[in-house]
Structure 1
Amino acid sequence: MDDLARLEELLLQKQGLVIINSHEEQRVLSMLDRFALLNGRYVTTWSVTGGLCEGSTRKPVYNTDQIPDALRHILTSPDNSVYVFFDAHHFLADPTVIRLLKDLLALDSGRMLVMIAPEIELPGDLKKIAAVLEPKLPSKERVFQILKEEAAKWADRSGQKVSGSRESISLLTQHLSGLTESDVRKLCRMSIHDDGAITAADIGRVLRHKHQMMESAELLTLETNVPKLEEIGGLNRLKQWLGIRREVFIDPANSPGLPSPKGVLLLGVQGAGKSLAAKCVAGSWRLPLFRLDFGQLYGKYHGESETNLRNALNIAQTIAPCVLWMDEIEKGLATDAGDGDGGVSRRMLATLLTWMNERKEPVFIVATANDITSLPPELMRKGRFDEIFFVDLPDDAARRQIVSIHLVKRRLEPALFDLGRLAELTTGYSGAEIEQAIVAAGYAAHADRRPLRQSDVENAITGTQPLSVVMAEQISALRTWASSRTVPAN
């Protein structure tokens, strides 16, 4: 049932007061005009700036700028109007307004009152006598139709057809889902306007705008610096796992009988590349990556932290399809907090587990953790995640690849370096430590006003101690625990 049919059903049931929670005033007003035309009625609008305005011409009714005066006027007016109030929720704390509304609704006269605002919280007196309508967001089919309409308009103006690959158009349609129709139309125009083409750059811009449009968007961070798969060294088994499941997640309609991938938990040595592995998922699947920092969710009032978590998860669902990176998840859900935090950690865990079980939208979770002993057993239960990967320090082949990647990033030719020797020297080093050694070597060469040499990198490597030496006991214990409980990421 579409929005017009749902609205018509409510109004024709003589539901005297209908609340429509929507930002799209003009779209809802057009819908009400269509309803009135089909049912022999006319629409009268009210706003604080214009008072009552009657009929299709919106003829003003004088001395109705104040909502009590407008309601008194309606009490003595014909019964065949649909009265539409904009922003009336600002006045619902006034007992006079509540009394007048109750008097109007008690008449059972057939007058129809509609209030439109982004979010209306009714006082208890009105909750039982009002119906609430939440307009549905456009389906993917409707989003695609809007995109075609805007492309046709651009073609009419420019005399040229809009270009774009099938994959770009499909991705744009996916990422426009979850927005209102007016926002979809606005972002379609933005994507097409400058060059008449739909490209990967347009998809990135749409994602940034979509994120900004979300209420409480500050709870999630859009990670824009997501590397391509070939820019990530090692993690071969994780890359293979992702490659096998990409199509099922991206296009479940063409994968009947296969459940959509839910997520992975990445455990590992600090600095070994779990964050990079999280980015690897988004890079591999060409999806937006949003980082959830539990530290930002905690509030000082009772229930505020759980509300923030629910809001963040709702944003992720609205933005879907996407990858949701829960960074250092043990810090937000640690079991050793007990009741020392007032039970907040337990309530946060319950909120997260409920959402993980019930979500329908394509949100792929990548949770990272350093300390497995702090994670609650409920989170580790089979089925919460598709797989638990252990991100260890890179092996010899991965280190060669990492050295090569970071040399290329600095416009250096890997063939001019002895990669085997550098890989040997960096045994026990994390990818981040290898990168920092190359950066330090670059500083040394720059200070001497000469190109970077093999010896610079070797000196930088041997001049520092890796974390695997500094924290040898902890890393050994973690590896022992992970050996029989997780899948190696590399």
Structure 2
Amino acid sequence: MISQKLARQINKGMLSHYPVIYIAGREEDRIQATLASLCKKKYDDKHSLISWSLFQGFSDTNDMQEPLQALKRISTAQQPAMYLLKDFPAVLDDPAVIRAIRDLYYILKNKNIYVFLTYPTIKLPEILNDEVYLVEMALPSEVEIHAYFQHFIEAKKLTDIISTAMTHQYTIALMGLTLNEIEHLLVRLFALKNQNPEELIAEVYQEKSQILKKENCLEFISTQQSLEQIGGLNNLKEWVLQRKILFTEEAFSSG
């Protein structure tokens, strides 16, 4: 699934004539799909996105796994292109690679060639701050999760047992996870037949708590308790009740 928000962020860097763009994000497949879509729009199907990794080298030639060789090839490219260098920031502790990135910035500045460095986290040497445009990929939005969940239940033929209201509940429960994490979770939850979709929502929160623990987050507390079960906080409760319509399926649908 393409991330429109990520596409807009990347476009800002490209419109600012940054030839080297760092994308920090955990969903590599979504990053690649988004870049492929941008490449198609920018070059009118004349050029496709070229990816590279330490393991496979370039996707169009399956060679040049060595980082400096890869950068050298890009520096001598004559045709407009977009290159996706997967996990390249992992080798940015090499002074020779840092120098090559800086050289690449000046070589490609007006060539209509763009290089994208992707990594799950930000690992950008300070010396490259001026030459590299940084983009952080956000977690999927409520709209994206809703669309993904809707697609999932349609593919699994679950639309007859999962109502619109329940879809909204699942959407809220799944927020804070990547689409990859959501996919693994949903496949497991709905693997068995005759499951009660309403009861599975509690499992979503439980699984979400376990996933977030891996990321050293604060403890996740499920929000399934009612206001009556929470002591005190009367002013806050009144505020929530006055605005509860803002968190309904109708409010979500109307934007």
TM norm. shorter chain > 0.5 = yes
Partner of 2:251: none
Counterpart contact for 2:22–2:132, Cα < 8 Å: yes
Aligned with residue 169 of structure 2, among 171, 180, 184 = 171
Query: Which amino acid counterpart does residue 7 of structure 1 have in structure 2?
Result: I
Shift of 1:104: 1.1
Q: For residues 138-217 of structure 1, what are the structure 2 equivalents within 5 Å?
A: 138-155=140-157, 161-164=159-162, 168-195=166-193, 199-214=197-212, 217=215
Describe the SS at the equivalent of 1:163: coil
Mark the CA change 1:222 to 1:25 in structure 2 (over 3 Å): closer, same or farther.
closer
Counterpart contact for 1:146–1:184, Cα < 8 Å: no
Mark the CA change 1:228 to 1:126 in structure 2 (over 3 Å): closer, same or farther.
closer
Q: For residues 8-19 of structure 1, what are the structure 2 equivalents within 5 Å?
A: 8-19=11-22
Counterpart contact for 1:46–1:86, Cα < 8 Å: yes
Rounded Cα–Cα distance in structure 2 between residues aligned with 1:6 and 1:217: 25
Shift of 1:240: 11
Mark the CA change 1:118 to 1:196 in structure 2 (over 3 Å): closer, same or farther.
farther
**1:69 is the counterpart of 2:69:** yes
Rounded Cα–Cα distance in structure 1 between residues aligned with 2:69 and 2:242: 56
Counterpart contact for 1:168–1:200, Cα < 8 Å: yes
Partner of 1:82: 82
Aligned with residue 38 of structure 2, among 35, 45, 57 = 35
Partner of 1:251: 244
Rounded Cα–Cα distance in structure 2 between residues aligned with 1:120 and 1:244: 39
Instruction: Give deviations 1:337-372, integer Å, cap 9, x for gaps.
Output: xxxxxxxxxxxxxxxxxxxxxxxxxxxxxxxxxxxx
Rounded Cα–Cα distance in structure 2 between residues aligned with 1:11 and 1:111: 10
Rounded Cα–Cα distance in structure 2 between residues aligned with 1:151 and 1:65: 40
Mark the CA change 1:137 to 1:48 in structure 2 (over 3 Å): closer, same or farther.
same
Rounded Cα–Cα distance in structure 1 between residues aligned with 2:100 and 2:229: 69
Counterpart contact for 1:47–1:65, Cα < 8 Å: yes
Deviates more, 1:215-224 or 1:91-100: 215-224
Shift of 1:164: 3.4
Mark the CA change 1:20 to 1:249 in structure 2 (over 3 Å): closer, same or farther.
farther
Mark the CA change 1:45 to 1:248 in structure 2 (over 3 Å): closer, same or farther.
same
Query: Which amino acid counterpart does residue 51 of structure 1 have in structure 2?
Result: G
Aligned length: 239
Percent identity reads 18
Structure 2, gaps ≥5 residues long: 249-255
Mark the CA change 1:223 to 1:112 in structure 2 (over 3 Å): closer, same or farther.
closer
Partner of 1:301: none
Structure of higher CA gyration radius: 1
Describe the SS at the equivalent of 2:85: strand
Query: Which amino acid counterpart does residue 180 of structure 1 have in structure 2?
Result: T
Rounded Cα–Cα distance in structure 2 between residues aligned with 1:237 and 1:99: 58
Counterpart contact for 1:89–1:117, Cα < 8 Å: yes
Partner of 1:470: none
Structure 1, gaps ≥5 residues long: 230-234, 256-490
Counterpart contact for 1:169–1:198, Cα < 8 Å: no
Counterpart contact for 2:140–2:176, Cα < 8 Å: yes
Shift of 1:11: 2.0
